[in-house]
Amino acid sequence: MSQLTFEPVAAVAVVLGLAMLGVTRLDSSFWLYGIQTVGLGALAVWMGAQHGELTLVVVGSAVALLKGVGVPIYLARAASRINCRRDADTIIAPPLQLFLSLAALALLILVRPFNGSLPISTLPAIGLLMLGMLMMITRRLAISQIIGFLVLENGIFLYTIAQPHTMPFVVEIGALMDVLAATMLAGLLTFKISRSFEHIDVARLKELKG
Amino acid sequence: MSGVTGVSMLLSVLLYLLHIAIAPLFLVGLVRKGKGLLQRRQGPSVLQPFHDMAKLFRKDETVSGTTTWAFRWAPVIGLSTIFSAALMAPWIGLRSPIPGDFLLFVYLLALGKFSAGIGAMDTGSAFGGFATSREVAISLQTEAAMILAFAALAVHAHSSSFAAMLSPIRPSLHVTVLALLVVIALALAAVAEMSRMPVDDPTTHLELTMVHEALILEYSGPSLALMEYSTALKTLLLLGLVGQVALLVAPPQSALPAYLFSLGVILAGAVALVIAESTLVKLRWRRIPNLLSFGVTAGVLACLLVAVRG
Amino acid sequence: MTHPLLPVICAILVALCWLAAPVTTLIAGRGANSPFWSIAVGAGAVALLCAGIAGLAGTTGLWNLPYPLWLGAARFTFRLDALAAYFLVVIAVVTVPIAFYLPAYMEHLCRKVDMRLFWISLSTLLLSMSGVVLAANVLTFLVAWELMSLSSFLLVAADHQPHANRQAALIYLGATRLGTAFLAGGFLWAHALSGSWTFQDWHFRGAAALGPGILLIIGLGVKAGMWPFDLWLPIAHPAAPSPVSALMSGVMVKVAIYMMVRLFLLQPAFNHPALGYILLGLGAISAFWGVLFALLQHDFKRLLAYHTVENVGLILIGVGGSIAAANLGLPVVATLALGAALFHVLNHALFKSLLFLGAGAVDFSSHTRDLDQLGGLGQRMPWTFALFTLGAAAICGLPPLNGFASEWMLYQGSLHLSGSRVIPLLRFSGLLMAGWIALVGALALACFTKAVGVVFQGRPRSRGAEHAKEVPGGMLVAQGLLAAGCILLGLGAPYVLRLLQSFAIIPGAGPHVLSSAWTLPIGTLAVVLALTFAAGGLWLSEASKRDRVRSYITWECGFGDLTPRMQITATSFVQPIARMFGMLFRYAVHFRIEGTNRRLFPETIVVEPRTEALLETQVYAPVVWWVDRAGSWIARMQAGSIHLYLLTMFVTLLILLLIAGRHP
């Protein structure tokens, strides 16, 4: 029974991650990220209730609330403060990003490079990690980098709930807090970069090299 | 017994032809009326497209002196291909009179596109040229998306014929997800093929932004009527096909509910068109590939699902 | 079953006809052009067709040429079987229309081209292509293959006045040398392993098949125009006179594919699944690469030549997929793919020759091949326009023409692969291949909409195009025959498949795999289309009879008449697609503004989109540079002293004797 819920939610999370690579409007990215995170949080809560693990329930609801609702709102405000709506000038065109990540996902599913060393239930988590990484590589804007980082972190979260009893409560909450702090810091830094350079294109930070 | 089946066959073919003759224009009228209502105005009569059609058929035609037979024949070839495609694809819950398969269907649409493009280029006007260029550029992704999505269904059904692909299967989570992905892929492709928002604006009068409207810019009188009618038939056909795929999620048990269900799905599609056209703005030309790439992605995901689960 | 001597009689007739032309031209002189030679070529082709039909009907045979004609290590041996016969038919059905085309076409070339050399080369090319198809051992094959390469080189160089043509011929010569080097390497390797020169004695399996197999794939791939060895093809094919381009693109590349089918697939000499995957992958890339670069071309014939790369890619997808599937134990899939490939070989021969003959007709009448100089030819050359459009529809795979039939079979092969019990990766690849073929098809559609639209429609962009006239009847008959073939093969696809399944069956598949896979209601479709076309035609003629159609100018927004320069150009037509795939060939638009006050009063503004194929600039150019360096180093040996040369020869001889003497 647990499998029947886990798989669709994990699959939807991966598809949402894919969609984030395809869109360029920041608003849409925030929305998609919010839905993905709330879904993952809810999955954790549901699995915790099934297995009778309080840890998962608490962490899941915290993730859904703080990361799923709080972070998108915070990022949306940060983006509107620096008047940035769209990450149009990506390094690789969005359709190609989409197809590349699709190819990577297909290889992951069909070839199973980690076969044996990792259980199958962690495949979607690896996929999310990969998507987050791709997003950080192919985007220029600092805000998109933050989203990529957050997607990557969602992958780690999915990995932990795919394998119950892997991490103690303190570590999970600690990781959550770290992510929140990192996001806040990154948001603030973005604001600063934008104030100092009048752009937030991380590719152009090379100019700072002495 | 065979006499009875013969009569029922004949009846169903007649019903089919009746749908091909009337339903497309009716659908266009409905969409226009719906848009009017949503914009707080009366909107034209649902029967207005029929009047327009009659008016156009009464008119004389103006043909540019630079054109050849290609310009004159393009409306005929376009209608003839879309008519053949309509005869070979099941839609509105009716069995198609001629068994066709999805490859033939997609390539018939491509033949229509080819003839329309040749017709538009024939006038020597920049509008026709650019419209054709855009039309073929858009069709790269729509054709790939349609073929991928249909291929996933075909492999699932072990046959490329529409009859097998769209015959009711035992519903399951697997089928639901597959149908959902196929519907997304087909719907995005269909929006582009039907020249609807947000890919193309069917009501625009700014030539530079038009795709389909610029393609038929030089046509007048009865030829224009044929072109308009072909587009309407294509719209109905594609909506009907998307609807048929959507019905795989919950297949109705007998013929009449199947028919009513698919009518309902087509109406839902029309409502979606109305809402989309009233709320969305047309995408910039450079962003259209971004939108259509989601269709291709959905198609590839459907293929992935079929490949893994079979 | 026909009489066993029939093919021999046909062969003698073919040889007589095709040798008659060159022998008599030697007497006739340099500028000679008379229908006699075309008739001889055509008669030979008809005889060849008879031989092919006899072979398809079941006559087989093995012939050795008598004693004085032999090769030292082996004799000239020829073998006729159904597969060879099929390719003989492919050669013949293209050559017959070309015979109709030649007399009028050569009229305008005979001042520039040495006609003696032309007829000799053409006859040699035709004979040697048949020879390659019939060769039963390596030496016969290599002799025929070399004759084919050299005669086609002479044909490419036939009109050697323009510098570009001379360069094209040299590049072509280089490519054929490279190909033959790989072929010879592969054959020598196989001979060293087996000790036999006869193809039929070779049965390599496993690792032993891989090494020679890959060398042979490269050698044959160079001739077929397979990516990444396709560089020369779009340069060399257009440089030849159009009927020869048609022969080279339509038939000569197929000869290489014939050898692939013969060596790797039907009673394979070399059997290894990796060979299949290599061909499949390179075929998939060729298909996409060819059509993408075809889109970017301005030169009418070069555009068509790139489409040859595309179609060879599609055929190789079929061949490679068939080898892979046969090794996976999927005979049905393998047969479907092979059937699709062989069917496409014939179809491509027809429509590509039709298109090249059409391009030749355009060149003939308007004296240019530059797409941006053409336009409006539809009104001036209505028949050529109609026939070319039909060929364009066929190559785009539009129903109910022949291109659709074979592409449909290719789709069926990939769908069947996905539907069979293999690992998910392969099933996914099958589905993806369907999407890939669809993308290639859509690109081809874009390309030919451009070609037809820019060349034949709108208004003429140059004086040449403006004064173009319809070509003479013979050239139209040639195109008409090929166009009729496109329609007939499209509607008669089930019959072709029935023919193919008489010999192209992978062991294990049932005898009726191909014909039972064909489920399309193509006849009904044809009837529906014909009826609606007839109704439409009636309606159109009625409308113009009742004077309800008024002729006027094209809508110009009320600003006065349009000029031809306001039309879309070939370059702007493909700009959206070029931008989409820009990263594959570094698409960039360069602006150049000139004038004393450039900002306010520019005198000329040049906007020029540039594309550079990364493969050419990053891989081939450095290689050519190094070869050039090495060549100039070796050239130091050319000291000019005859005594030094003699010494070099003596030393070489000595070394060779020492090496040879070491063997007992």
Q: What are the start-end ranges of the E strands in chain A? A: none
Above 60 in pLDDT, residue A95? yes
Question: What's the distance, CA C487 to chain centroid?
Answer: 20
Option in C378, C424, C435 nearest B307 (CB): C424
Among the listed residues B237, B233, B280, B209, the one whose alpha carbon sits nearest the alpha carbon of residue B92: B237
Distance CA B244, CA B92 (A): 7
Higher local confidence (pLDDT), B115 or B66: B115
Task: Name the minimum distance, in Å, from the CA of B30 to any CA of chain C.
Answer: 28
Would you give the end-to-end CA distance of chain C in angstroms? Answer: 51
pLDDT band at C141 (very low <50, low <70, confident <90, very high): very high
Least confident range from A80-84, A201-205, C323-327: namely A201-205
Nearest-CA residue of chain B relative to C382?
Answer: B68
Asked if C394 contacts C486 with a C-beta cutoff of 8 angstroms, the reply is yes
B173, B294, B308 ranked by CB distance to A22: nearest: B294
B4 in contact with A at a CB cutoff of 8 Å? no
Q: What is the pLDDT of residue A1?
A: 41
Dihedral of the alpha carbons of C485, C528, C411, C405, in degrees to the nearest 10: -10
Counting Cβ atoms within 10 Å, is residue A94 exposed (0-12), middle (13-18) or buried (19+)?
A: buried
* B175 shares contact with chain A (CB less than 8 Å): no
- Residues C285 and C227 sit within 8 Å (Cβ to Cβ): yes
Confidence band, pLDDT 50/70/90 cuts, at residue C354:
very high
In whole angstroms, what is the distance from residue A101 CA to residue A23 CA? 13
The answer for residues whose C-beta is within 8 angstroms of residue C27's C-beta and 6 or more apart is: none
B95 or C464: which leads in pLDDT: C464
Average pLDDT over residues B170-192: 89
CB C63 within 8 A of CB C8: yes
Strands B61-64 and C549-552: parallel
What's the mean pLDDT in C444-472? 90
* Whether C250 contacts C94, CB under 8 Å: yes
CA B227/CA B116 separation, integer angstroms: 9
What CA–CA distance (Å, rounded) separates B199 from B188?
9
pLDDT above 50: residue B273:
yes
pLDDT digits (tens, 9 = 90+) for C551-580: 888 887 787 777 888 888 888 898 888 888
| 3-class state of residue C496 by DSSP | helix
Average pLDDT on C197-213 reads: 88
Per-residue pLDDT at C496:
92
Q: Do C568 and B104 lie within an 8 Å CB cutoff?
A: no
pLDDT tens-digit map of B56-87: 988 888 888 888 889 989 999 999 999 999 88
Per domain, the residue ranges of chain B are 2-309
Q: Which residues of C touch B79 (CB under 8 A)?
A: 532, 536
CB contact under 8 A, C425 and A111: yes
Express as a percent the part of chain C with pLDDT over 70: 97
- Reported as a single tens digit per residue, the pLDDT across B212-250 is 888 888 888 889 999 999 999 999 999 988 888 888 887
Is the CB of residue C564 less than 8 Å from the CB of residue C461? yes
Nearest to residue A14, comparing CAs of A128, A157, A99? A128
The alpha carbon of A141 is separated from its chain's Cα centroid by a whole number of angstroms, namely 16
Q: What is residue C219's predicted lDDT score, i.e. its pLDDT?
A: 94
Considering only CB atoms, which chain B residues are within 8 Å of A110?
Answer: 304, 307-308
How far, in Å, are B301, C45, C129, C363, C506 from residue C57 at the CA level? Answer: 47, 18, 21, 40, 19
Q: Do A99 and B301 touch (CB under 8 A)?
A: no
Mean pLDDT of C437-447: 95
Q: pLDDT tens-digit profile of C31-71? A: 566 777 888 888 888 888 888 888 888 888 888 877 666 66
Are A95 and B290 inside 8 Å of each other by CB? yes
Cβ-proximal residues to A75 (8 Å cutoff; 6+ apart), any chain? A26, A30, A143, A146, A147, A183, A187
- What is the mean predicted confidence (pLDDT) over C324-334? 92
What percent of chain A is predicted at pLDDT more than 70?
Answer: 82
Q: Verify whether the Cβ–Cβ distance C424 to A96 is below 8 Å.
A: no
Q: Judging by beta carbons within 10 Å of its beta carbon (0-12, 13-18, 19+), is residue C515 exposed, middle or buried?
A: middle
C398-427 residues touching B, CB cutoff 8 A:
398-399, 404, 408, 411-412, 415, 418-419, 424-425, 427
CB contact under 8 A, C425 and A96: no
Question: Are the C-beta atoms of residues C117 and C59 closer than 8 Å to each other?
Answer: no
CB contact under 8 A, C442 and B140: yes
Closest CA to C147 of C180, C103, C171, C178: C180
Q: Which of A5, A3, A9, A4 is nearest to A158 (CA)?
A: A9
- With contact defined as 3+ CB pairs under 8 Å, the chains touching A are B, C
Instruction: Give how far B284 is from chain A: nearest CA, Å.
Output: 12
b/e sequence B75-106, b meaning 16+ C-beta within 10 Å? bbbbbbbbbbbbbbbbbbbbebbbbbbbbbbb
Confidence of residue B1 (pLDDT cuts 50, 70, 90): very low
Characterise C72 by phi-psi region: left (phi > 0), alpha (psi -120 to 50), beta (else): left
Residue A95 with chain C: CB contacts under 8 Å: 580
Could you report the per-residue pLDDT of B16-62, keeping only the tens digit for each? 888 888 888 999 999 999 999 998 888 889 899 999 999 998 888 88
Q: Looking at the partner chain, which of C519, C540, C556 has a beta carbon nearest the beta carbon of B101?
A: C519
- Enumerate the residues of chain B whose CB falls inside 8 A of the CB of residue C418: 151, 155, 303, 306-307
User: Which residues from chain A sit within 8 angstroms of residue C583, using beta carbons?
Assistant: 92-93, 96
Q: What is the ipTM of this complex?
A: 0.94
pLDDT given at position B208:
67
CA distance A89 to chain C (A): 14
Q: Specify the amino acid at residue A94.
A: P
Q: Measured between CB atoms, which of C411, C446, C549 is closest to B63?
A: C549
Q: Where are the alpha helices (DSSP H) in chain B?
A: 2-38, 48-58, 69-88, 102-121, 126-157, 162-165, 173-193, 212-215, 221-246, 255-279, 288-309
d(CA C241, CA C101): 12
Chain A residues within 8 A of B141 when measuring between CB atoms: 95
Query: What was the pLDDT predicted at C582?
Result: 78
Give the best-scoring range by mean pLDDT among A102-116, C157-171, C483-497: C483-497
Q: Are B169 and B182 in contact (CB under 8 A)?
A: no
| CA-closest candidate to residue C493, choices C277, C343, C388, C278 | C343
Placement of tokens 């306010």 in the chain? C600
Share of residues in chain B with pLDDT > 90 (%): 37
Best mutation site among A29, A90, A109 for testing chain B: the one with the most B CBs within 10 Å?
A: A109
Say what the pLDDT of residue A194 is: 72
Chain A residues with CB-CB distance to B308 below 8 A: 109-110
CA B186 to chain centre: 10
* Residue numbers in C near A123 (CB within 8 A): none
Residue with more model confidence, C260 or B199:
C260
- Please, what is the average pLDDT of chain C? 87
Of B144, A4, A192, nearest to C434 (Cα)? B144
Q: At what angle do helices A54-62 and A26-51 cross, to 10 degrees?
A: 170
Angle of the B173-193 helix axis to the B126-157 helix axis, nearest 10: 170
Which tokens go with C367? 């004296």
Using a CB-CB cut-off of 8 Å, the residues of chain B touching C430 are 155
Residue whose C-alpha is closest to residue C78's, from C136, C9, C24, C120: C136
SS3 call for C411: helix
State whether A22 and B296 contact (CB < 8 Å).
no
Most A CBs within 10 A among C288, C422, C428, hence the mutation to make, goes to: C428
Give the contacts of C203 (CB within 8 A, at least 6 positions apart).
C268, C269, C271
The one-character DSSP state at C113 is S
Interface test with C, best of B73, B84, B153, B181 (most C CBs within 10 A): B84
Say whether the peptide bond before residue C460 is cis (omega within 30 degrees of 0): no
Please determine, for residue C30, whether its predicted confidence score (pLDDT) is greater than 60.
no
For position A182, what pLDDT does the model report? 79
B118 → chain C, closest CA residue: C453
Compute the CA torsion angle A3, A5, A7, A10 (nearest 10 deg): -140
The pair of structure tokens assigned to B98 is: 């001629």
Note whether C159 and C241 are within 8 A (CB).
Answer: yes
The DSSP symbol for C2 reads -
Query: Which two structure tokens, joined as six digits, stand for B282?
Result: 């047309």
pLDDT at C415 over 70: yes
Per-residue model confidence as pLDDT tens digits over C606-645:
877 777 777 777 777 888 888 888 888 887 777 667 777 8
CA dist list (Å): C243 to C96, C166, C348: 11, 18, 15
Q: Which residue of A has its CA nearest to B289?
A: A95
- Asked if B115 and C403 count as a contact pair (C-beta separation under 8 A), the reply is no
Summary mean pLDDT of chain A: 80
Q: Which residue of A has its CA nearest to B172?
A: A4
Interface touch A110/C583, C-beta < 8 Å: no
* B304 contact A CB<8A: yes
